[in-house]
Each structure stands twice: as structure tokens, then as C-alpha cells.
Amino acid sequence: MKSELYRTKYGKLLVGDSVKISQSYLRKHYKNKFNLIITSPPFPLNNKKQYGNLQGKEYYNWFISLAPIFSDLLADDGSLVIEIGNAWEPERPVQSLLHLECLFGLVNHPDAGLRLIQEFICYNPSRLPSPAQWVTVNRLRTVDSYTHVWWMAKSDFPKADNSKVLRPYSKSMERLLQTQKFNSGKRPSEHNISPSAFTKDNGGSIAHNLFELEDIDSNREVRLPHNVLSFSNTISNDYYLKKCKQSGITPHPARMNSGLINFFTEFLTDENDLILDPFAGSNTTGYCAEKYKRQWIAIEANEKYASDSIVRFEDPELNSKLKINRKDGM
């Protein structure tokens, strides 16, 4: 049912069906233990991908069946973070409601007790034009350039600390802190701003729930939290992609952005907390968790993707103490 492909100083990757592994091995040994479950499950795409994806009602039933499984594994103050893209109706230039129905199904599942804490939007202008038929061929729609990131939990107050994910101050805010002068008083919104409201240096400004992986306005500096890397999937200078190119490995086509994982790892967990990614792909989550000294477990059904992810932990800067188990012929 499960096969451990490799382990590191802080975690391990299991190969197999994530639902079966979660319902048996994880439920037995890690019930209510995970401080963060973060993942990007297969999207409900109309065209089949190598990494596997369902459609329509079949996808919905599979997706909401995850709710009680994840709830069982989460610590009482733990968080569930899911990234998911938009869906489109087959052969129609009409956006599907499937991803929204999946969200409602998760938080309304009677056996899970989940609630939506906050939604984030991840904007990536480097995404290829999609859906291609209606964007580049017929030119009826605009480019679908963002994904949804849903933060859910079993409690209204999951562990979180936004002071750990501050954005750099803007140039104008830096000047304000230096001069200690700004236009206080009543605003058109009827908010009354006191003379001392913005004079304290807190080390940065509070993060927004919109992530710009590249700048929307070229004249404005992107101010992502310090631990969120400003890069898109087109950048090829990280260790994983360099190593894949050197080794003739085709990278996983739907890698979760490491900046997102860094952000939620810092925001929602502490050192040595336990993180799970049940749809690991190239195991970006395990890599980020290792970097931030979090315990982690990752599950990947595709043996090739699982094996290819080993190269992440060969990064000499990580010092991961990688131990590979190839008894099963992988």
C-alpha cells in the first residue's frame, strides 16, 4: 500500500495512492498530528494530463471525499491550504463552477468540521494563455492567469502569526517612518487616523492575500513577504530545474510555486512542526519544509515523479542527509 522511496533529516516521501495511505498508515500513526496540510491537487482540466486528473461529477466526488480524511489528520489548531485553478465547461467558452462547488463541498462536509479561514489569489502573468481554444484560437476570452488558494481549518483560530510574513515597507512608508510625519485626521471613508497611527516601525507591512509572482505594474516594485520568492514557472535558475536539465529529466509540468509554500510554512507553522503534502508531484513542499526545519511527509502516486524529486534533496546547501530506498525497483 505504501512504499518509502527516500527520507531526509526532517521527512520522507511515500509512493502510492494518497487516499489509501492517508486512511490506513497516516490515520493509524499521525491522527490529529499535522500542523499543516498544504497541496496542489490535480486540477479538473478537460484535457488529460500525465499526472492524472478527473473531470466533472467524478472529480467533485473524489475531491470532497478528502474532507474527513484531512480533518482526521489535522491537529486541532492545524491548517489545510489548497491551491486550485479555474475550471471550464467542456467545449464551451464558459467558466465552470466546479472548483467553487468543491470548496463548498469541503467546508460543508458533515464529517469534517472544516471552515474557510481566508482565500488568497496567486497571480502569475507568465502562465500560458488558457483555455487555448477560447483565448488564442477563437480569441473570445482573456488569459486565465491566477489560481485560488484556500486556507481552511477545524477551528476559527488555527495557529497563525502574520508578523512572520511581513512585506518590505514601500518607499513612501520608509520616508514616513523617517520623518514621523503624515496626514492624520478624518478620511473620506470616515476612518479617523491618529497622529501616531503609522509612526511605529514593525519591521514591515502586513502581507496581502494577493500574491504577484511578477509585477502587475512595471513602475511599482513588487513587495512580497521576505520569504516569498518573486519568480514564475518560466525561471530556470533554481537547483531543481538546473539538475533536471543536466540529468535529462523532464520537470513536473504543474509544480506548486515554492514561494507560496514558503509563505504558509512560515505563517502557519513553527520549527519542527509536521507538514503533509498528499499530492507531492516534484515534492516542492518537502524541499521547503526541509529548508525551514519542519518535519514533513509527502505522498506521490507517480513513481517517475517521485523518483525525479530526489534531485531536490541533493542540493548541497540543504544538507538533507538523503537516504534512498530502492528495494522496490524504482
| Same domain (yes/no): 124, 37 | yes
pLDDT band at 242 (very low <50, low <70, confident <90, very high): confident
Q: Which residue has the higher pLDDT, 50 or 35?
A: 35
| Same domain (yes/no): 72, 195 | no
| Same domain (yes/no): 38, 140 | yes
pLDDT for 125 equals 80
**pTM attached to this predicted model:** 0.87
- Asked if residue 267 has pLDDT above 90, the reply is yes
**For helices 98-107 and 66-73, angle between their N-to-C axes, nearest 10 degrees:** 50
| Same domain (yes/no): 217, 311 | yes
| Same domain (yes/no): 58, 175 | no
The C-alpha atoms of residue 207 and residue 2 are separated, in whole angstroms, by 39
pLDDT for 203 equals 79
- Host domain of residue 104: 3-167+205-315
In a domain, 129, yes or no: yes
| Same domain (yes/no): 186, 93 | no
Paired residues of 121 in beta bridges: 148, 210
- Asked if residue 50 has pLDDT above 60, the reply is no
pLDDT band at 214 (very low <50, low <70, confident <90, very high): low
Q: Cβ distance 293 to 271 under 8 Å?
A: yes
Give the three-class secondary structure for 180: coil
Q: Look up residue 20 and give its amino acid.
A: K
Query: Tell me, what CATH number does 257's domain have?
Result: 3.40.50.150
In a domain, 70, yes or no: yes
| Structural Rg of the chain based on CA atoms | 21
| Same domain (yes/no): 161, 174 | no
C-alpha cell belonging to residue 9: 533529516
Where is the domain boundary, 147, 181, 203?
Answer: 203
In a domain, 280, yes or no: yes
C-alpha cell belonging to residue 263: 509563505
Give the three-class secondary structure for 314: helix
The C-alpha atoms of residue 65 and residue 81 are separated, in whole angstroms, by 16
